């Protein structure tokens, strides 16, 4: 949320800003599933399968532009911390 607020503060009339937000470290879907299970204490139903045609080998966000422009860097760099903050928010703000 801090990044979004910094960008909103930096906006001026007619201005459009685009930034990637992340830690610069990619994680696999399996790592995310494992983290969600650790943090929530609940199993995540899933089915393992082969990579689909066209799926990239890796994806990650390069946040160097927002760091240079607005001084922002990721507050949470460990996956479990990121998942925990999202899970805590969802517990406080149940889906619709």
Q: What does pTM read for this prediction?
A: 0.77
**40-83 pLDDT per residue, tens:** 999 999 999 998 999 888 888 999 999 999 999 999 999 999 99
Task: Tell me, rounded to whole angstroms, the distance of Cα 40 from its chain centroid.
Answer: 17
Q: Where are the domains of the chain?
A: 2-11+18-45+59-92
**42-51 pLDDT per residue, tens:** 999 999 999 8
Rounded (5°) CA angle 96-31-21: 65
* CATH fold group of domain 2-11+18-45+59-92: UDP-galactose 4-epimerase; domain 1 (3.90.25)
């Amino acid at each position: 949320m801090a990044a979004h607020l910094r960008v909103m503060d930096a906006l001026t009339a007619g201005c459009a800003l685009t930034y990637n937000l992340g830690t610069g470290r990619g994680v696999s879907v399996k790592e995310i599933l494992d983290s969600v299970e650790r943090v929530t204490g609940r199993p995540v139903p899933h089915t393992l399968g082969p990579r689909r045609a066209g799926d990239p080998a890796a994806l990650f966000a390069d946040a160097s532009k927002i760091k240079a422009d607005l001084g922002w860097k990721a507050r949470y760099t460990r996956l479990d911390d990121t998942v925990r903050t999202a899970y805590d928010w969802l517990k406080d703000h149940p889906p619709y």
